[in-house]
Each structure stands twice: as C-alpha cells, then as structure tokens.
Structure 1
C-alpha cells in the first residue's frame, strides 16, 4: 500500500543538491516512495564536442546519484537527462511520469537578493499542476511543525487534507491558520464604524473556520488552530517565525482558461519570502492512494490496513482489512478493526455486524480449544 508512490527529484548538481538528495531519501523512506531523478541540460549548445562532453558528464553524475539513492535503501527509477528549458522539462516529465510530487531546491540566490526563491523554482510552481516541494538551502527535512494556512477554498481544503497525513507520518505538530482580512477603506464615517466592520469580519471568519475544520478527520493529530487578523501574506510569514515552522503547506489559487497556471497573489508573496521549506498544491494531491489488492499475504494486507487507519483514511483502511479477510476469514483483529472504524464513521449497524462476526469466531475458537482439551483428557 502506497500513498505517495513517486517523487520526481530535480537534480541540478548545485552546492545545495546533496542536501536535497538527502531529503529525497528521507521522504521516500517515510512514504515508501520511488524516486525518479531528472537533470535538464541547456539546448542552445552549438559545439558538438561540448554538447557530447556535457551529455557524458550529466549521465555519469546521474548514475552516481542513482547509486547513492539505492545504497540508502530506496527504490530508484532510471535517471532522466533532458535538454531544454528546465522548468518546462521538469513540469512535462512530472506529468508524463505521473509523479505525485516534484522535489526541487529553492535556487541559489544571494543574501542581497530581494526575493529568496530562484526563477526556475518559481516558474515550476506557476506551471505545475503537480504538487511541488521546495527545500530551502541547507534546510534538513526534520519536520516538527507544519503550518497550513486555509481560506476555505478547494485548494486550501486539498492542502489541509495532505497536511494532516504528513503530520501523522512525520509525527509533527500541525497548525491550521486562518487570517481574517482587515478593511482599511476610508469609506466609513468614523474609526468606530471601521473597527466594528473588522470585528464582524473576524466573527464571520471564525464561524466559517469552525465549519471548515469540521470536514476533516484530525483524530490522533497533535494540532491547533490559529486565528489572526490583518494582511494574509504578512500574517502567514509572522506565524511561521513565531511558531518556528519547519514546513509550510499551501493551496494555490489555480485559475481556469488562459490564466490557469497563475499562482494566487497571497501564495506568490509568501513563497518568495518564506524562510522554511514548503509544499504548494494546485489541482492534485500529494497523497494518491494505491490499495494492495493483488498480493496473497493476508498479514501484509492487514498491516496495510493498520497504516491506513493511522493515516486517518478510514474508508480505505476498511477496504484493506476486508481484503485481508478475503484470504483469512477467521482473522478476528480484522473484524474488530472494521467494527471500530464503522463506529468512527457513524455506521453502528455495520459496526455491530462485524463485531458479531468477531465474537462468533472467538466463541468457535474457544469451543474448539475446550473440545481439544476434553479429547486429551479422554486419551482419544
């Protein structure tokens, strides 16, 4: 069972690439993912000897990358070397390889640069429908605190759904942030009227926030909600600093038509200045569930169900437990687990049915043991 099947790792061989390679290993081990390394060479090299040298060097270094990843116990697909514009080739390959997520560095920028996000990284985020994980320079993937800002839109709903699973798998604290935008218009006749307007906005936002959170299963997650008022981008950045956030997960405002790749203005402001690593999600989830239904080992199927239950994916866990019962119909823990999950899903009749099955099997096993003891005593 995999929930993050494939990571497209953009290897640029810059000084920070070794750290990003280690992040790829950590992420792959956490989620049982395969890694697809890619490197993009310029397509404007005219001299054939230089082009040949570049090609040989890149392929040799990609073989070395693959070997290093494999030595660390992760599955690696054949490295990909392409020519062209880096962000175009990376986005295209992520789609053609059906990767769950693109892993990139934030880019090599100087301390004096106004924006801390490199051009290639920014364009990948703008153009990719796939989620993008951007690792800040020299930032290890030691995630203790995750921040997920929400505006109650579909992209932010997707971001929170994925952030919850990341928090469970990484055993990290999750902060869900909502910012009530403050009006600064001069239309109001008095300062008191303006303050009352912003007070009402905050109240309405708090009610919407509560209703939004009610959609999610946060059972077993170490989480808290944070409510702020002000400029959304500024408040998100301040929350990151105040809470010492290690990973930001944000939904981006994907548009339709010709502008469908435009990143929302709040996201754009935040990702240019954010001091930590971050994930952006537009129209696709990082998490894409692949249930194990073709293996014949009921214990592996049952263990997959246990992991799905820990991930909070209750419906999927039930299906996995049922698959294990298809092989071993006497497995009481699977019946009990399904009953427990149906209780959590508010389906007591189904829970009772599976609980009854579990009890009947327990009684059958108990009576079988009694009969066996009686036969031993009789010497038969």
Structure 2
C-alpha cells in the first residue's frame, strides 16, 4: 500500500462498513497512520421528513446526530482502541462528501465497505463505491464484507498502459508489505478474428491467434522487467476474453484477497457507452478492490 499517513473511512454502521473499518485499522497499525471515521447523514432533514415524523427538522437532525455519536463512540472504543482516530458527522451526499472531506483533510486513502443499495439505485445512479471511483483522486479501497483482514493473494490486472503500470507498482509494494503472492493478469480479445476467419484458411487463423498470444506474452514480460518484480516471483497469466469478466473469474477461482487496478474515472455518456472495467469488477468480484488514480487525474 502507498504510505497513506491519513486514512478516511466512511461508515453507515453496517456490517459491511465495520469490515472496512477493521481493514483500515489493520493498515493504520502497519503504517503508523491515523484514521478519520466519518458518518454522512444523507442531506439535511427536509420539510417532507417533518411531515412524516411529526417533529421539526431540527429535532430530527439532533436525533440523528445523537445516534451517530453513540455508534461512532462504540467503534472508537472497540475497533479503533489503539489507533489515533477522530470522528465526525456531516450532512451531504455520501460520494461527493467523502471526496470533499478527503481532500480538505489531506487523506491519501479512502476506505469504504461494499454497500447494499437496491438494484434500481445501482442501475440509475451506481453505488457509492462506483461513484467514488469516478470522482476521487485518492486511492479508494472497497473492502469485501465478511473476509478476514489482510491480503495473502493479490491480483494486478494490466493492459500495458501507464495507468496499469502505476497500479502494478502499488500492488508490488503491498505484496512486499504483506508477504503475499502476486498474480499479474492480462486479458485480451481476438479483435477482427471473425473477419479473418471468413477470409482466410484455418491455418492462417490459428497463426494469427498464436502471434497475438506471443505478442501479449512479450509485452507482459517487458512490463514485469521494467517494474522490477523479480524479488516477488510474480505469477503471470494470459486470458482471452473481456477484461472485466476475466478478472472476476480469476479472482473467484483463485480466491484472490485483493485486486489492485487503475481507474481513469469516466463519467456521463462516456461511462454509459464505454463503461469502466474497475466499476464492472467492483460490482461482481468477491475480493476487496483498490483503485489507483494517475497523478494528473481529473474527474470528467
């Protein structure tokens, strides 16, 4: 893990959020970091809530703050007992507020759990974790629920871009810190294979496939040599297929604890039509996921 001296943890007091906090505390102990445990109340109570509850909005806000204070205190005394931890409660939209607070507080890592938003909310808006990927310049760690803290097996998907090189370097540092296995995966597709197959012989088609595989193998080895992973003895894997699906399948089959990958933060129509591999992975992969942004990252 990059040495994040300050870790911002978002909590809604769910089991998923507590799993994220446990992992953040473990990382803070290892790296001597401090934690800000942040609870976000979704927007200031409105007149419509007043009508529902039959009490003034100010009283609703006070009640929400009181409950949140009690829940935060429980976690500081229990989970965070030996780690420097401050708590805060703010009103706002979770993803926007987490990004703003991380920037204002100088946090280098945002840690969240995988929340249980409804399918309709995910289809229309995306989960809080997915929105964080598009908006946060910091590293974002989305922690799988129910898993044991720690990373024994790490997967670094690469596509030979500068983004994936950066994420591979981060994955290597984590593997060294955790004394973990490092797996490096490149997934590629046979673009245009159908047209080639219809216009040439079976032998020519097979030759094209073999050439593409060999080219991918050479590029993967070149990347490994450039990043200098020899002390880790990484295991290299080539897969044919869509990147997101191959990452998810590999992580599930090999019981990967952490996937480390780059994310460039597409938004709007670009995300709708093109999508983002990191977002697709987070939706389905059984592992925790750490996304790494380029130094010049700007949300679109």
Q: Secondary structure at the match of 2:261?
A: strand
CA distance in 1, matches of 2:155, 2:254: 9
Partner residue in 2 for 1:162: 170
Kindly indicate whether the alpha-carbon contact (under 8 Å) linking 2:188 and 2:239 is maintained by their aligned counterparts in 1.
yes
Q: Secondary structure at the match of 1:212?
A: helix
Question: Gaps (5+ residues) in structure 2?
Answer: 47-56
Partner residue in 2 for 1:322: none
Kindly indicate whether the alpha-carbon contact (under 8 Å) linking 1:107 and 1:118 is maintained by their aligned counterparts in 2.
no
Partner residue in 2 for 1:301: none
Q: Which moved more, 1:95-104 or 1:264-273?
A: 264-273
CA distance in 2, matches of 1:273, 1:58: 30
User: Which has the larger strand fraction?
Assistant: 2
CA distance in 2, matches of 1:131, 1:258: 24
Kindly indicate whether the alpha-carbon contact (under 8 Å) linking 1:35 and 1:74 is maintained by their aligned counterparts in 2.
yes
Structure with greater contact order relative to length (CA < 8 Å, sep ≥ 6): 2
TM-score (norm 1): 0.66
**Matched ranges for 1:57-68 at <5 A:** 57-68=67-78
Q: Secondary structure at the match of 1:79?
A: strand
Q: How many pairs were matched up? A: 279
TM-score (norm 2): 0.83
Kindly indicate whether the alpha-carbon contact (under 8 Å) linking 1:179 and 1:230 is maintained by their aligned counterparts in 2.
yes
Match of 1:208 among 209, 216, 219: 219
Q: Secondary structure at the match of 1:139?
A: coil
**Residue-by-residue CA offset, 1:234-277 (whole Å, 9 max, x unaligned):** 221222123221111111134699979x9953223222111111
| Structure-2 change in CA distance of 1:84 and 1:108 (3 Å) | same
Partner residue in 1 for 2:14: 14
**Residue-by-residue CA offset, 1:178-212 (whole Å, 9 max, x unaligned):** 12322254322136244333322222222211211
**Matched ranges for 1:227-376 at <5 A:** 227-254=238-265, 265-284=276-295
CA distance in 2, matches of 1:208, 1:16: 38
| Structure-2 change in CA distance of 1:195 and 1:96 (3 Å) | farther
Distance apart, 1:215 and its partner CA: 1.5
Q: Secondary structure at the match of 1:45?
A: coil
**Matched ranges for 1:3-42 at <5 A:** 3-42=3-42
**Matched ranges for 1:100-119 at <5 A:** 100-108=108-116, 119=127
Higher Rg of the two aligned structures: 1
CA distance in 2, matches of 1:30, 1:222: 23
Q: Secondary structure at the match of 1:220?
A: helix
Question: Gaps (5+ residues) in structure 1?
Answer: 286-380
Q: Secondary structure at the match of 2:231?
A: coil
